[in-house]
Structure 1
Amino acid sequence: MRLAMNGRRKQRISDAFGAAAGRYDDHAGPQRLAAALVADLAQRQKPDDVSRILEIGCGTGFLTRDIQARWPGAELVVTDLSPDMLAHAAKGGLVAGTFMTMDGEAPIFEGEWFDLILSSLAFQWFDDLESAIARLAGLLRPGGSLIFSTMGQGSFARWRRAHEASGVGAGIPDYPSLEMLRSMLGRFDDAFAFDEDYALTCGGAKGLIAHLKGIGAVVPNEGRKPLPPKDLRRVMASFEEEGGDDAYQVLFGRVTRVG
């Protein structure tokens, strides 16, 4: 499925993650940790009476496999923007469910369908996070929960500072702060958000770049062009002067439908 209806950027995101599908797991340490915490939160929130679950942005299937292990009797609908990522998650018969290519902020469902909607580190690619959260929360049955993780403003702070010190702009997207996410969730009667930091050992700028390429996170801000080699070398040197490692700030949110 081509994604022309969602613009060229969404297609670029799909293509980038598709190209990384085969090597993604080798680079995805923080992604594994965030997915496990989303599953833990979901099980604490709704350990039983779960008949239908929607996953947004399955990637290679970290969260997908965990979901099925915890709720083996539930109907599972697994989605991702990238058909190649979706195929990777579905292969091998490790998960039984319905797999479909779908943009998570434009779900094809309507009405109160799901007991759980779960997602880990996919929402940062949405064009309008606040509207997407409201749209997905509208698909919950009474008592159902939307639980997700997304990138926070503090992610890759050293890499950003290295760009600033070099007088150039970083191509990393502008992620929301924890305060911004809490404000978005403030419209709901039962919701909360918190954050966790995950260290990212890079061993230098080349290691960070390899990590980003390895997970497919290579689509920059709209209109951002690659740095000339001279500028990139200056940024890399500045990053390594500060230690050559970085970190993820991951935001977690939960919305439960009351009534």
Structure 2
Amino acid sequence: MNALTMKSDANWQARVAHAFSRAAPRYDMLASAQRQIGQRLRDSLPDSAYKILDLGCGTGYWTQRLAERYPRAQVTGLDLAPGMLAKARQRYGDNIHWQQGDAAALPFDAHAFDLVFSNLAVQWCRDIGAVMHQLYRVLTPRGQVHITTLLPGTLEEIAFAWQRPEALLQPPHRANVERAISKSGLTINQQTTTVERFYYPDLQAVMASIKGVGAQLPRPNTSLTRADIAAAKARFEQLRQPEGLPVSYRCLTLQLEKSP
């Protein structure tokens, strides 16, 4: 990795951390889509675990529920955004270990966890290969990783409405994720792809749902006129369903294991 690439990655991480730290005060109120997706991931977890990592824990909602489900386990919540961790610590206290860090360079010893849970977080990592290698390193033999992440096509309705797909997150393709897993040494025990669709009454509610959870990064030199907003509303109205304006999340759910 050259110096320019390292600087670019550092800038990206700083922007992601800043966006999610800003979102922290409103995250829990606006994260209904993330909660529904996470619930299905939680339902797939094993019966027992003793050292657990919530990777990309945000405000700690799922970290706390992991602690409740596995009361005898040591549970750690890791996030890149200090604002998210501050909210998590304020809400759930210090019985859970809260750790700031990067999923591509986990600040833990080898074989530190027998279960890693990660709901809609790793799509924010530019180097998915590094993430998978780190997961392999910190897992115990027979340890499991349960992940939901996003695929291209997520938020496609918003990209259509604004005609600015580059303003949204560009997640990796499924083939790239599978290749990264294979190179890491992890084994895919199960994987499913689904389209989760949520509905909102108007464009303002749509944008609140993604901005409020940090899912849109601020772009420099970008300004919107009233005409831009009116045009976006008109385009989005073309997609309206009886339930409201649709917003799609293309999800990849993975159950991975480290061989003994």
Whether TM exceeds 0.5 here: the answer is yes
- The secondary structure found in structure 1 opposite 2:108 is coil
TM-score (norm 2): 0.85
2:232 — aligned with what? 235
1:75, distance to aligned residue in structure 2 (A): 1.0
1:171, distance to aligned residue in structure 2 (A): 0.7
1:253 — aligned with what? 254
* 1:196 and 2:194 are equivalent in the alignment: yes
1:173 — aligned with what? 169
- The secondary structure found in structure 1 opposite 2:52 is strand
1:8, distance to aligned residue in structure 2 (A): 2.3
Structure 1 residues 169, 189: CA separation in 2 closer, same or farther (over 3 Å shift)?
A: closer
Instruction: Give the total of aligned pairs.
Output: 247
Q: Which stretch shifts more, 238-247 or 178-187? A: 178-187
Instruction: Describe the superposition over 1:218-242 as per-residue Cα deviations: whole angstroms up to 9, x where unpaired.
Output: 216xx77525424443233211222
Q: Which stretch shifts more, 96-105 or 154-163? A: 154-163
Whole-angstrom CA distance in 2 between matches of 1:234 and 1:83? 36
Q: Please, which runs of 5 or more residues in structure 1 have no aligned partner?
A: none
Q: Please, which of 202, 206, 225 is the counterpart of residue 208 of structure 1? A: 206
Whole-angstrom CA distance in 1 between matches of 2:221 and 2:44? 39
1:65, distance to aligned residue in structure 2 (A): 1.7
Contact in 2 for aligned 1:30/1:200 (Cα 8 Å): yes
Structure 1 residues 85, 245: CA separation in 2 closer, same or farther (over 3 Å shift)?
A: same
Whole-angstrom CA distance in 2 between matches of 1:56 and 1:189? 17
Whole-angstrom CA distance in 2 between matches of 1:172 and 1:57? 19
The percentage of aligned residue pairs carrying the same residue is 25
Contact in 2 for aligned 1:137/1:146 (Cα 8 Å): no
- The secondary structure found in structure 1 opposite 2:21 is helix
Q: Which stretch shifts more, 86-95 or 20-29? A: 86-95
Q: Please, which runs of 5 or more residues in structure 2 have no aligned partner?
A: 1-6
1:72 — aligned with what? 71
Q: Which stretch shifts more, 81-90 or 119-128? A: 81-90
TM-score (norm 1): 0.85
Matches for 1:218-233 after TM superposition, within 5 Å: 218-219=216-217, 225-229=221-225, 230-233=227-230
1:169, distance to aligned residue in structure 2 (A): 4.1
Q: Please, which of 168, 178, 193 is the counterpart of residue 182 of structure 1? A: 178
1:163, distance to aligned residue in structure 2 (A): 4.1
* 1:23 and 2:26 are equivalent in the alignment: yes
Instruction: Describe the superposition over 1:177-212 as per-residue Cα deviations: whole angstroms up to 9, x where unpaired.
Output: 444433433444621321232222122322211111
Provide the alpha-carbon RMSD of the alignment: 2.4
Structure 1 residues 6, 159: CA separation in 2 closer, same or farther (over 3 Å shift)?
A: closer
2:4 — aligned with what? none
